[in-house]
Amino acid sequence: MRKIFFLFNLLLAAPVAAQATTYTSVTMRIEAPDDTVYNDTVYIADDGCTVTDNSGAEHDIIGPKAICALAAAAGAGDFSYELIDSDYGLYLNGINDDTGSASDYWSFAVDYVLASVGLADYDLTEGQAVLLSYGGYPNTPLQLTVEKKQLYTKQRLVARVTKYNDTTATFEPAAGIAVLFGNHQRITNQAGKASFHPQQPTEAFTIVASAAGYSQSNSAEVRVYQHHQSTQTILRTEREQLAQTGMAYLLDNASDSQSITEWSAVAYGALLTAGLKTEVNATVQAAVLASQPTVSDGASTLARHILALQALKIDARAADGIDYVARLKKTESNNQFGSVDFVNDDIYAGLALLAAGEAYTSPALATALQAAKAGINADGGASYAVSLPTSDVDTTAALVQLYAAVQGEDDSTGVYTNVARQAAVRYLLEQQNYDGGWGYANHDDSNTSSTALAVQGLAASQHAPRLIMKNKRTGYNFLENQQRTSGAFQYNTAGDASVESLNTAYAVPALLNIPLPVTP
């Protein structure tokens, strides 16, 4: 959930201004004897950090060192740590109540290889995996890989466990290691493999490997699905009813968040486009017009405001006498919109310009189209930040909608997007889960927001969402299953806490097959 709301803050609330400081993101996992203290992504400033040792002395650390990742994790995870300054430099003596002893200590590994230098001396690079583990010598890290994150009942699930051999400088199979598949234990064979055949559909369960003398492995989550033999078709009239019920919920539950208000306006515009509403709702219109974002509010806020205005048939170039398109263009610098670190602002700036009728030959539109390419990764998907190598469904689906909106106009825009759009669509198709929905990234559990955006992206690129299915289930099937009796759409099947109004605002246009920009 954390990464979803991190993106929510970047994309839908006030955007982050361009900063001189750049960041490196790594995963940090901290294993105490009885529990995992921390396991999440941390962002560390490339120019370093300041840490304090157990005597109260401050140490200025230069560069993206591993010790800065520890400090960032402690700030986010609310745990304490103790550093001691010795003749050999700073070393980690304790985390919470686990401190060094005659037999146990904190070991440090990067990418499952024990480090040969200390935390304060190890330069990290983007995407590395940092492990701190408390135990006795040698405390060798175990690395776990699974062949799939989702499967049908009675299918064979194989987990492979490896360890690093310093002598050969290679990873080799780890035999005799206990692997827990949820509550079921298996032991790895000489090839380092253990297998499990789940008999029933389950919520996501965790797989992890451990053994005496080793650091516990990374974990993997797997979900087991019923293998469906027939499709469950949702008729257009049924989808329209789901959308109308969702819109009714939004109208009855006005939000204090301008972000949600404006995405609700976009949802209302989808109903206008589909002919399910004939007039603009005065309350929604007033709520949108009440906000008058300025250039200082940033590209993302202005883009969202323009999308909302145009969805309500209000000219964003003359809304209450204000030209918001001109304001959006003033956020352009360094051949991109908003922050140089992110591409989500460029994508939505481009969609907003198109919503307002910007000419295909517009230099500002060309800037947005070109800048959006900076988020594209080798797998064809896109990430919301320039430096992130891991694609996500939400950003990729938005990119598809932008590039689909200018399909066939490459000669006019001067930016050739067709190849990138097709690759991004392939990424979306590959990411669909066996329940028909989409997760945020890497086959995460399906959620309403990501599913809705993916459906819109496919619809924009002329891929009929009703025909795109896994395990004989479509995105529509998943969305239908998430709607509550109130009309609101919950975040996921487990009913995790979320902003239901935002989920609902996303779901309404998707159910109607209407992509961005929404222009009735």
Beta carbons of 32 and 134 less than 8 angstroms apart = yes
| pLDDT on residue 243 | 98
- pLDDT digits over 381-424, tens only? 999 999 788 899 999 999 999 999 999 999 999 999 999 999 99
Let me know how long the chain is: 520
What is the rounded average pLDDT of the residues 458-478? 96
C-alpha angle 402-8-516 in degrees, rounded to nearest 5: 25
What pTM was estimated for this model as a whole?
0.84
Instruction: List, for residues 424-437, the tens digit of each pLDDT value.
Output: 999 999 999 999 99
Q: Is the pLDDT of residue 491 over 70?
A: yes
Q: Does position 63 have pLDDT exceeding 90, yes or no?
A: yes
Report the number of secondary-structure helices (H) and strands (E) in the chain: 15, 25
pLDDT at 7 over 60: no
Residue 145: is it exposed, middle or buried by C-beta count within 10 angstroms (0-12/13-18/19+)?
middle
356 neighbors 316 (Cβ within 8 angstroms): yes
For residues 398 and 362, the answer to whether their CB atoms sit within 8 Å is: no
What pLDDT, on a 0 to 100 scale, did the predictor assign at position 21? 65
**Residues 196-220: pLDDT tens digits?**
999 888 878 999 999 999 999 999 9
Percent of the chain with pLDDT over 90: 86
Q: What are the pLDDT digits (tens) for 367-376? A: 999 999 999 9
Q: Catalogue all structural domains in the chain, each as residue range(s) with its CATH number.
A: 20-137 (2.170.130.30), 143-225 (2.60.40.10), 236-511 (1.50.10.20)
Query: pLDDT digit string (tens) for 122-169?
Result: 999 988 999 999 999 899 999 999 988 899 988 999 999 999 999 999
Report the alpha-carbon distance of residue 285 to residue 291 in Å, rounded: 11
Secondary structure letter of residue 224 according to DSSP: E
Q: How far apart are CA 136 and CA 100, in angstroms?
A: 10
User: Where is 103: in which H helix or E strand?
Assistant: none
pLDDT value at position 241? 98
